[in-house]
Structure 1
Amino acid sequence: MTPILEQHIVELIRQGDQRGMSLLYDHYGPALYGCALKLTKDKDASSDILQDALLKIWNNCNSYNADKAKFFTWCYGITRNTTIDYLRKVQKKQSKEIQLKDRDVYPIEDTINQDDKESLKRQISTLDTKYISVLDAVFYKGMTHMEAADYLDIPLGTFKTRMRAALIELRTINKGITVLIWILTIS
């Protein structure tokens, strides 16, 4: 593209003229789309990224400085950064989903038979309510200690202290259940 046409596109966009955006898309659109596609390898995502990048170019055109870079280079940088932001967001979302699927804490319903469950529920019901709530959060709802502390709105240290005290109290109520609780706490 000639420097004159490039300068004309910049002037039109700075004036808020839609023709500038049309020229920008016609002349740079395929290359900018290609930048996004190369990084994402996803046609739909690349189309969305191109749209976001063009909007950023439109909104920030006044910050473009011809002495620092050619207009295409500036547009390419915006598109590349928009693509990287998209990839980070997707990666973060996938990481959170993986954490929810691959938990190392499993609800009690998945680990013991019905008779043991009923026996444990009876014994837990004899405990103080603050102990019942921590045991319920971890063993019946399958929460991690951090999640349970947040859920119960108590500090993590307090949660762990209550958990330990609840387990000790259960052990004193019924020595036979000690093995079961020990297995559940290390799994």
Structure 2
Amino acid sequence: MSLLYDHYNGALFGLCLKFTKNPDDAKEVLQASLIKAWQNIDSYDADKARLFTWLYQITRNQALDFLRKSQRKQQKEIQNDYSSVSIEEDSSLLYKEFKEQLNLKVTSLESQYQDVINCVFYKGMTHMEASEYLNIPLGTFKTRIRNALKKLRTTYSIIALLLWSYI
């Protein structure tokens, strides 16, 4: 483990820092990466890649996972803050009307477009999870979500713009 750290610490730390933009977070990601590499050292195949390339990929994946987790945590915190804000009765009525209009527009779409919208915006799935759930290729899923949002934009531009901001 110390040989891995001594030889690859600088380059891998630089990669972590590039993703996290924070030295403390970069150290955490680097540590997790090296631990994961050490635990999975049996899966390394010198015929497929150099050791540095293998370590680089593990570190990159760990950094991306770290960013996703921190984004989810930040989104949850934002949602919690929003729920504590009191909404006046007029605003609440506008929201309900807006939500009803949105549901009407979504249900007016073809079923393939309804499915992708429901997975992403109502069930909170990632594009990858939704494509697996719907058993369609990821590229097809992304095309459908883009086309669905275009259709919503042509029929009800405000809703589509709000939805588009979540992608």
Give TM class, smaller chain: 0.5 to 0.7
The match for 1:48 among 12, 16, 28 is 28
The match for 1:89 among 69, 82, 93 is 69
Pairwise CA RMSD of aligned residues? 2.0
The match for 1:32 is 12
Q: Highest Rg: 1 or 2? A: 1
For residues 94 and 67 of structure 1, the distance between their equivalents in structure 2, rounded to whole angstroms, comes to 41
The match for 1:98 among 58, 73, 78 is 78
The match for 1:154 is none
Q: Does 1:76 align with 2:59?
A: no
The match for 2:40 is 60
Extract structure 1 runs of 4+ deviating beyond 6 A: none
The match for 1:186 among 93, 105, 122 is 93
For residues 22 and 94 of structure 1, the distance between their equivalents in structure 2, rounded to whole angstroms, comes to 34
For residues 91 and 15 of structure 2, the distance between their equivalents in structure 1, rounded to whole angstroms, comes to 51
- Which residues of structure 2 form unaligned runs of 5+? 95-167
- Which residues of structure 1 form unaligned runs of 5+? 1-20, 112-181
State the AA in 2 paired with 1:183.
D
SS in 2 for 1:80: helix
> Structure 2 vs 1, CA of residues 184 and 71 (structure 1 numbering), >3 Å: closer, same or farther?
closer
For residues 56 and 33 of structure 1, the distance between their equivalents in structure 2, rounded to whole angstroms, comes to 15
Identical residues among aligned pairs (%): 51
> Structure 2 vs 1, CA of residues 52 and 106 (structure 1 numbering), >3 Å: closer, same or farther?
same
